[in-house]
Copies of this chain bind each other. A is one copy, B any other.
């Protein structure tokens, strides 16, 4: 069982699950990735799912330790921290896209919150690559790409919300 390294097994699926297989880690990454939440309070109070502050603090710490987020001080406020995606978490995008697609098919999601998943599914790997390039620009400081998938997703989301008269502002 390879307990020598504190892991249940060396299976890549298992190791991924050990890192991300809980109810909150991927929610946090989703919010940083799709909602561009970069601060503790943003993640805490604008969370659709209502994460508790101690759980958020713990997950942020673990995600930073595992190299899925990076944390730097915000120069504009001595107590603010800015959390960014890393290359490793940016590469989780296809996983999240698939998860959204599966959830859209096999659970009963709300229409407004599904539109991003739908668009991302229809866009396919080409759109994912464009989105990942954009995330590298936002979080890693690479060159700005021509296409903004984030803007496309947000526009589609706002359009749905507007169509149903206001439900929430993001």
Contacts and interface: CB of A to CB of B under 8 A. Distances in A.
Most chain B CB neighbours (cut-off 10 Å) among A50, A96, A113: A113
Nearest to A16: B103
A117 B8 contact: no
A21 B26 contact: yes
Given A23-B18, A95-B98, A13 B103 contact: yes
B48 A16 contact: no
Interface stretch (A76-84, A104-112, A129-137, A141-149): A104-112
A11 B103 CA distance: 8
Nearest to A94: B98
Q: Give chain A's interface secondary structure class.
A: helix
A88 interface: yes
Interface residues of A, number: 47
B48 A109 contact: no
A142 to B, nearest CB: 19
A65 to B, nearest CB: 14
Most chain B CB neighbours (cut-off 10 Å) among A8, A67, A96: A8
A19 B113 CA distance: 17
